[in-house]
Structure 1
Amino acid sequence: MKTVYKILERPCLTEKGNLLQETENKVVLKVNTRANKIEIKNAVEKLFDVKVAKVATTNMVGKKKRVGVKSIGRTSNWKKAYVTLAEGKINFLDEL
């Protein structure tokens, strides 16, 4: 079984994520690409001591980036999870 820290990689601290957190009590996280919704739900509940109502995931495609003058590289693909909280609140900015 995967550990909590291998499932949840980091929070996505963006303007859209902050707006969702304030208005709809949703948290946006970058998660392992092989993690499923049940594993994400259990990891968030265990790590942050909150109650999760719903989890939605999206696979984000890596972007093309220039590497030097001639060659073009690509960033990695990654997975994003929108976690709707039923009870409790997570605030990543207060802990910095």
Structure 2
Amino acid sequence: MKLDLNDIIKEPVVSEKSTDLASKQKFVFKVHKFANKPMVKKALESLYDVKVDKCNIINLKGKEIRTKQGGYSYTYGYKKVVVTLKEGQFDFFETNQ
């Protein structure tokens, strides 16, 4: 499947763990479910003018949740990527170091 560079990166993941990783030049993003490591690397390097050192992709599955009526529903799964930038690169989130 051919994806546009703007469609690959969906949104940044902002959590306590991801902000701690930002101080180590690692940033977390939600990505398209068909995206792979070379696609993510190319998209980040062209959109943000940074040099990516490595990408780690995590595929999170949806979970079964219980409803009020006693039935079951499902949350959606998604794919996220932890990107490590080379030293001295742009800081996506402002972190206090």
How many aligned positions are there?
Answer: 93
- Where structure 2 has 5 or more consecutive residues not aligned to the other structure, the ranges are none
Question: For 1:9-68, what per-residue CA distance to the aligned partner results, in whole angstroms no more than 9, with x for missing partners?
Answer: 11000010000011x200100001110100000001111111100001011011222334
2:75 maps to: 75
Q: Which runs of 5+ in 1 are unaligned?
A: none
Q: Spell out the pairing of 1:1-96 with structure 2 (5 A cutoff).
A: 1-22=2-23, 24-86=24-86, 87-92=88-93
Whether the aligned pair in 2 keeps the contact of 1:59 and 1:78 (CA below 8 Å) is yes
Structure holding more strand per residue: 1
Deviates more, 1:65-74 or 1:25-34: 65-74
Q: TM-score, normalised by structure 1?
A: 0.86
Residue pair 1:48, 1:90 contacting (<8 A) in 2 also: no
Runs of 4 or more consecutive aligned structure 1 residues displaced over 4 Å after TM superposition: none
What is the CA RMSD across the aligned residues, in angstroms? 1.7
